[in-house]
Structure formats: structure tokens, C-alpha cells
Structure 1
Amino acid sequence: MAPLARVSGPITWLAVILAVAQVVAPVVPFSGIGASPNESTTDLLITPAGWTFSIWSLIYLLSVVFALAVVWKGATGTADPRRLLIDLEIAFAGAAIWILVSAAEWTWVTPIVLTVMTVVLLDAARIAARPADDEAPGWLRVLARILVGIYAAWATAAVFQNWAAAIGADLADPESLGWQLTVLILCGLFGLAVTAAVGSVLVAYPLTLIWAFLGIPATAQGETTAVVWVAVVTIVALVVTTGATFVLRRRRLDRAPAVA
């Protein structure tokens, strides 16, 4: 196996700076400058309960810890540390920018920013799910996979919600069920596809999506039964798909020839 891939220099410290920047950015709207995220978005029938958004605190914490660990160890726990770090730096910067454009209530800019974040985070998920060097510290590999899994999954849920919010603000009736169910189903199918691809390694991805979808029945219960059922079916499908990926991965590992 190839030696541990290393990364060092300004790119590692940039990760720390941007990880901190995304933590600091929410101070702007919450200090009264512009609208807060919940004020600048359109309330929809498929909007998750407010408590689901507390996951940002975990994302912020893991981002800072991981960035500092990269500076310390000069590695990311993956075979392509530079690309992973660039992906995460774009995501960190995007999260800070998203807060600022949300505060400015630029309705159509926020989903564009989240789309960019989702693309780079899914690329990071692809890298993190690959086999890593045995020389990499085990805790660093685990940390990378947890951070990337959670961040990529939350971006997946958020990008569909943000596009729906933009559509509901200017193009469609935010009280109309049909188009919102379509968005919710597309989000679920997209998440299931990613889970099938990387869920056996990045288990934090399906778990975070389940967290997001749990918040939808919490607000839709008693109002829109169809939304509740789509969310519940998606959660069950995520659990089944994750379990299936584990079984298939275990079978592949059992069949793989032993390395001397």
C-alpha cells in the first residue's frame, strides 16, 4: 500500500480560517444586521422542524476540530488529502456566504450557493469513502468520514429545501402540495442513491438524512398526511438501503483474497 498522503502549508491553515469563518458568520444576522435564516426563507409544507437545524452546531464543531487535526497531522485520513481539503474549504466558505446572502434576502442566490456546496461535499464523500492508507491514524479517518457524511447529507437536504423555498417565494403557491411532494420525493431518491454508493462507509450520511426527514412529520403531522407518509417511507428506505450496503460490502470483503 502507498505511504500516507501528506498535505501541509497555507492550504491547511486556510481550512482552519474558513472553518472558523462559517462559525462566526451567523453572528451577522443574529446581531440584527439583515434577516435571520428562518426569517429569510419561505415557510413550506415540507419544511423540517426547527430543532433539526441544531445539527449545524455539530457541523461547525467537527469542521474546526478536523481542520486543526489536518494542520497537526499533515493528513486528512484519505488517499487524496488535497482534493478533500479543497472540497471542504469551498463548503466552509459557502456556508459563511450562504448566511450572508440569506441575511440580505437574496432569494435565488442561497440555493445556488448550496448547490455548489452540495457538489463539492459529494465529491468529498466519494473521496472519504475510498479505502484509506493503513498508516493514517484511525481516529483521523473516522473523523473525516463522520464530518463529510454529516455535512454532505445535510447539504443534500438543505439544497432541495432552499430551491423549494425560492420557488415558493416567487413562482409557485407555498400552500400547494403537489409540487412540494415532488421536491420531497426527488430529495429522498437522491439521498437513497448516494446512500447506496457510500452509505456502507459513510454511515453518517444516511443517519443525517434520517434526522432531516424526521423533522418533516413533526411539522406536517395533522396537516398534510401525504408529506408525513413520504417522509416515513423515505426513512424506512434509508434504513433498508443502508443495511443492504453493509451486507454487500461485508460479502465483498469476505470474498477478497487475503494480502500477505
Structure 2
Amino acid sequence: MTIQSAPDLSLNCGDCPIRHRAVCARCESDELKRLEDMKTYRSYEAGQTVVWAGDEMDFVASVVSGIATLTQALEDGRTQMVGLLLPSDFVGRPGRSRAAYTVTATSDLLMCSFRRKPFELMLAETPSVAQRLLQMTLDELDAAREWMLLLGRKSAREKIASLLAIIARRDATLRLTSPQGRINFDLPLTREAMADYLGLTLETVSRQISALKRDGVIELEGKRHVTVPDFDELLAEAGDDSDGGALI
């Protein structure tokens, strides 16, 4: 996915690049003005922790550009990546004062954040925001169920192809296009991060990406720029049907 350059910090909500997909997607002008009054932009460098699991979290936010990971730690110190935050994804949970997961910027990250208490009040008073957040939550639940299938039943090759398809589909959505035919996108994750997220070794990830490239399913320019000559073929490699199932 192409990492967008940080927008002007005076950016109006109506001009936001994630406006059509974010939690504010259904807001009217007066509701956008209310969000404008409570928002601030937060930027993080790659590798920087946004919030630690269990810490007080006095804000909620939408990812504007970049990518972050959600991780959870066990008592013995082991950690597991449990989610990705891509542009337009929502960070934080209204009604919960502490972070459930550690959020870490994988690339340079820009978030549009809202003070939690005023946002919770607006959520109670503004059906359009509450309905949009509910829709996003249900979409996330569907994606989590599909991810359980991916991790539990798919082969290493299918896992890599599925992750590429997810990223390609989200990139197309942000560009207001459909993922079909020949498509291009920038991979926002290192191979190490892909291995962690997919439960594979680094060697397996590298080997499967090389195999997909050798078989003509993908083309690579450098380590990050990906071209998919035929998106349907990528979906077939992922074990998905033509609409990609419930993956987002």
C-alpha cells in the first residue's frame, strides 16, 4: 500500500484522504465541525510505540497514513501480533479507558485523534457516527473470523497470497477503485513482520514470495513494490473465490 505523505495539519475533515471510509464517513457538515473542534493529529516514526497494552488511553483515532500493528504479550514475555491497522482503521475503544493491545507504528504513521470523553459524548448523541462505528466493528469481526481460517487451515503459500490480496483490496478501496485485472501496490510490511503476523518463519515467507514471483502470480520491484498481473489468479492462489470472501 502506498504510504501517503502527511497531510497539512490544518486539513479540513471534508478534504481528508480517508474521509469516505473512516468513522466520520456518514457525518453531515455540522457533525464534521464538531469533530474538527476535538481532533488533533498525532505522528509517529516507524518502530515507535503508540500505546502499551494496559496503559491509560485518553484518545481514540483513525489511521490517516502508514500502518501499525496490534500485539499482545503473555506472562512469560512471548508476544503475538494479533492485528494490523491500515489507513481508515479505528484505534481505541469508546467506553474503555485502557488499551487492550500494544499499538506500534510499523511505518511512519499519522493518526487523526479525538479526545475520548468528547468523542464518547458525540457517539451517544450522533446516530450516524454510532452506526458507522458499529459497521466498522462488524467488518472487523468478519475479518477476524476469516483470519482464524487463514491461520488454521491455509498453507504457507495461501497465507502469503491472502495477505497480499487483503492489502491490494484495501489499497484499491482507498483509491476508490476495484481490485481487478492488473494492479499495483506497495507492500507496507517487512518480510519479518509478515512472518510474525502469519505465524511463519522468515525463510518460509521469502521462499513463498519467490515462488509466487517465479510462477508469474506477482512481480516485484525492489522489496516492496508489488504488481499483480491478474488479481483473480492471486485470489485463486489464496484459496478465495472471485469476490475474496469476507476478507477486507
Interval of TM-score (by shorter of Structure 1 and Structure 2) = under 0.3
Q: Which has the higher helix share?
A: 1
Higher radius of gyration, 1 or 2: 1
Normalised to the residue count of structure 1, the TM-score between the two structures is 0.27
Q: Which has the higher contact order (CA 8 A, sep 6+)?
A: 1
Normalised to the residue count of structure 2, the TM-score between the two structures is 0.28
Q: Which has the higher strand share?
A: 2
